[in-house]
Structure 1
């Protein structure tokens, strides 16, 4: 009955973005690049089937869903052909002239520029990539369109540090960024006078940020600037961790919450003031006029905040909602979510693999599903009368619980945080954010041209101080308790299926999908921390022996060891006392009954390969070593597959290997 109800209500359209996402995932995990002719044939066949079966509903609907899957598989290759680039395979150094396309980071002491049209005197030193991201020490007054001349060292975009970790090569390739770099010495800047709208927006954002920081100070003003212009460079790591521990880190990242509060405030205020005039209400559709102001406000906020993907996605969603009001249609529907999702997937397919898209997509689907269920329940029985304050607190608590549960898997996977006291944190903070912080930010920004922003920005600063106090209270109350699991990437697939189930059905059957997902993730999607950690771009090598994980080689508190500790919730100690090292290498006999050898010299291969079950070398191992030892990881393995994580499964089973680089021959990988 639930399936028949969903089909009757034409909810198959809601599944379109999910099938496109499934196609994107299948393309992403393929071990090698599929032939483009095969992808074109697949998409042509599915669309032809949908057209030929247009008079037979079951065939048409199935073929359309298959077409969305095929389209998803084609999106990334097409996006790569249009906007992608080759990846730099080895460092380059020289003096270059380039054009600034964007300034992506600026904290006053360091900047990051995206450069194009990189040119130099010697052709062999050119990186030959479409775009490059360069870190620049110091503060420079630059804008998109300016030309710079500087000494730059370009280097390859780094691969993931751990299996399933953030893949900067994948993202950078499709963004057209084929190299990273660092600038040295003096930089010559030639102002282009061009830049148009992008330069004007950059200057406006900088001016707003300067006014906010000058009035509220570096710490509070830095958080306020993040809320208004999206510039998070002044937020300290301590404040980030404080808000994350209280489950309110989403407050400082501009997303649907901020767009909704700002555009919603404008909508409510315009409608209220227009309603004061009786003649106006009689002659004009004030609700539709207010919706128009809401769309304009959302668009302006999106531009001022830097047009980050969450803001763009939320603006599309809000525009659909206000457009529905203007058209006299129902505003909050799952169909609007599907339309917004399709738009983002088509124009920015790599965003599907980013945490921001997954978190906001999951939260919006869950909240609208809850809204639909609540609406059906209200139709069945009368809603009990409650006080406004109690209703507000219950609504905030319910929203926080629903959004928290919907995003739990994604926050646990990407950030190793579940913030179990997040409901309390949101209960304390959201009234401040909703009724003081964002309205004050909106009013202060609107009054900036008149120089009257002092009072509303003072209220904004007070609300931020109150938010930080609440975050500190929640963190102290929780005592640092955060039972975060280590999830495998399969958990994201299970969560995606549960979201599709939740979105598709209208009846109470929709909640069975998320309910079934819980045991599936608990029994089949949990990972254990590995027994052996091998870095690819440093000397770091850590091994578990008994209850301790400690280094055999390399230094602690480096990028690799920090990522290992965060990803696998494991303390990496400095050294095993049982490790024996000399100039030829190191040997450790673990408490689990196997021996690990780190070979530093070719002279040690013969002996170490005979006495150790697992041999690790940053040299090329001889063929006889692979025959003698149970597992050998050498320089060629590390160069091709990146960091290795190894699980010892006992003497009777082969070790399990997880590598950071999957599909080393794909277009976004560095071809050796």
Structure 2
């Protein structure tokens, strides 16, 4: 009896502790009840992200079962508790996100070219994208009468090949086609994934002339191309390219140097039509409509000026979104503008995080794959950070109107803009480092000048110039816009070339990125003191980034380009004639912002016509590397000794059986399975591959076409 009396209170302690914990969580959730709904798009996005992160259908189904278990646990906690309802709804939204993107990937499935092929075929031009800065034109084409080719291919032509080419036109081409390329190095841009959701089954370059059949299609440029061509005729060079980007989203005329300067200075967001541009168009259209409609006493007294002006702004924003191609940032901004207009008409507060959450839900349901791209992440992170900052009590108190000299008001406004820029830079830094391996450090300062210059000078004068061009009076306005654009470019170069303007780091571990994003959202979306807990996962995620080691060797997917880390923090390339694209890709993966040296020019590297040999690393991490760079065939017996003396052997060719390194041998066969490699030569060497074993995402195992059927002669179109 005494024993039973002692056990009862001990056995009841866990139950009482669990009950107190649930009560404490309920109290927290009750205090945050207005913010709980903001987590619905986060849960939907978590499911979409889980589908991209998990490799196979078995894992996706297992994830759905785990979520079903989580929903059951919420039901056991009880629907009467907020925690129970949140667990049920949250697990349901995560499962919905996983199923949504899975179904979307199946829905858009299209055949993909199996291997490179050179062939002739006829096609209908679906879309034309001029690239004046590169002297090229990129088109989406629909091959005709070729069951062995994908239904949609992307082709690149020289400017003279495609002069006057228009959407809807029938053409005949001879092209070198290849499957959509995967990332050449781990952590790089995977075009194969993007191409899958865009329905692109091959990419290639047109060889020779293009046969034209104007009678089968329109010869009139598209609505999007015509404004861009008109703007380029008024303003030359990159200034004209930026002017066109602000109107149509066409960035093809911006030189690579100027575009890189915009990225490094933190001004690249101005080139992507998003909130700033759509808001300006809707606001100007709405204000102009209100002024004009208010001239009618009848309309003013009827109280319909505001609804009509809001409708005008919505139509202007919709037209602008359509003209700009309805990309994710533009669409998100247009949806947000519509919600703001609806809130104004209802007399509700317009700019809230609920608006951002609603916009995110709409975009994710419409295009769930957008979550994986930097465009969606950057645009929504920036808007969320801005609104969360200005909803905080301290910021509202700082920016509140008060009686003070105009100079103080101006200083307060500039300080507010600078604080906003700093918060946005901090919010976007993990995303930029994860996707691009670099982030601008002076973007907040640059935007203090660039945003007002773009909003109040460049865009208004450009819009007026386009309007006055209808009567031939736009030249003075174009001159003003051009000077402002050149000032913007000069600002970008000045900031980009400043010492320490860019932070570069190697690949961000995906789990660290996920923790950093979750911690940032926890801080931004909650209001009470427990938001501070988000600093823990944010700090852990950023620590994972800062602690990420530099790869000792980088090997591209084709095996031709090898980069080796140097003791001073730089990298050297095996083939010093590599193009700018390869150099940029390697520099991003390595996390460096310095020119890549030539490996053969270094003192510790021994090279002949066929191979280079050097020691990589120091101490216990020291490894001997042997890399091929010639094209001549070498007998296995002649290579055996050199290979056996090396820890790592790398070749873009097939190596004979006699050539085997002590730790790793990389050749064409192995690279076909692994893709590009990042090799870490520490005490426990590790190789990270671009292609993961067992990856069952549809773009990894698509239906493949040979591209080897009998070609349709391009001359047949002329007949």
Do Structure 1 and Structure 2 share a fold, with TM-score over 0.5? yes
C-alpha deviation, 1:428, in angstroms: 2.0
Judged with a 3 Å threshold, the aligned counterparts in structure 2 of structure 1 residues 365 and 44 are, in CA distance, closer, same or farther, namely same
Tell me which moved more, 530-539 or 264-273. Answer: 264-273
8 Å CA contact 1:359, 1:407 repeated in 2: yes
What's the offset of the Cα at 1:366? 0.5
Does 2:684 align with 1:633?
Answer: no
Counterparts of 1:207 and 1:68 in 2: how far apart (Å)?
Answer: 43
Q: Which residue of the other structure, out of 199, 204, 217, is the alignment partner of 1:181? A: 204
Does residue 156 of the first structure (1) align with residue 189 of the second (2)? Answer: no
- Which position in structure 2 is the counterpart of 1:527? 548
Match of 2:54 in 1: 30
Question: 1:612-662: CA deviations, max 9, x gaps?
Answer: 222324455678876x72223232221111111101113xx2x11111223
Q: SS in structure 2 opposite 1:170?
A: helix
Task: State the 1:42 CA deviation.
Answer: 7.5
- Give the CA deviation at 1:480: 5.3
CA pair 598-219 structure 1, distance change in 2 beyond 3 A: closer
Equivalent residues in 2 for 1:55-454 (5 A)? 57-107=82-132, 109-120=135-146, 126-127=148-149, 129-138=150-159, 139-191=162-214, 203-275=222-294, 280-374=299-393, 377-378=396-397, 385=404, 387=406, 388-454=409-475
Change (3 A) 1:384 1:394: farther
Contact 1:15 1:500 in 2 (8 A): no
Q: 1:248 to 1:401 in 2, by over 3 A?
A: same
**1:325-351 deviation digits (Å, cap 9, x = unpaired):** 122222112121111111211222222
Larger-gyration structure (1/2): 2
Q: Tell me if 1:587 matches 2:613.
A: yes
Aligned residues: 658
* CA shift digits 1:550-599 (9 cap, x unpaired): 34467444643431123321643212433344577443234523211236
Partner SS state of residue 186, structure 2:
coil
SS in structure 2 of the partner of residue 539 of structure 1: coil
When residues 460 and 554 of structure 1 are mapped into structure 2, their CA distance, relative to the original with a 3 A threshold, is closer
Quick check: 258-267 or 540-549, which moved more?
Answer: 540-549
Superposed displacement of residue 209, structure 1: 2.2
Q: Which residue of 1 aligns with 2:716?
A: none
Aligned mates of 2:488, 2:615 — CA distance in 1: 51
- Alpha-carbon RMSD across the aligned residues, in angstroms, is 3.4
| Deviation of 1:390 (Å) | 3.0
Which structure 2 residue ranges, 5 or more long, are not aligned? Answer: 1-23, 629-633, 705-719
What is aligned with 2:21? none
- CA–CA distance in structure 1, aligned partners of residues 112 and 548 of structure 2: 32
* Distance (Å, rounded) in 2 between the aligned partners of 1:554 and 1:441: 44
Q: What's the CA shift for 1:43?
A: 8.0
**Secondary structure of the residue that 1:433 maps to in structure 2?**
helix
TM-score (norm. length: structure 2): 0.82
How far apart in 1 are the matches of 2:537 and 2:673?
Answer: 38
Deviation at 1:102, TM superposition (A): 1.7
Q: 1:402 to 1:6 in 2, by over 3 A?
A: farther
Compute the TM-score of the two structures, normalised by the length of structure 1: 0.88
- Whether the 8 Å contact between 1:46 and 1:67 is mirrored in structure 2 is no
**Correspondences of 1:428-507 after superposition (within 5 Å):** 428-475=449-496, 478-479=498-499, 481-490=501-510, 491-507=512-528
Does residue 669 (structure 1) correspond to residue 700 (structure 2)? The answer is yes
Provide the residue aligned with 1:660 in structure 2: 690
- 1:498/1:450 CA distance change after superposition, 3 Å: farther
Matches of 1:618 and 1:107 in 2, distance apart? 34
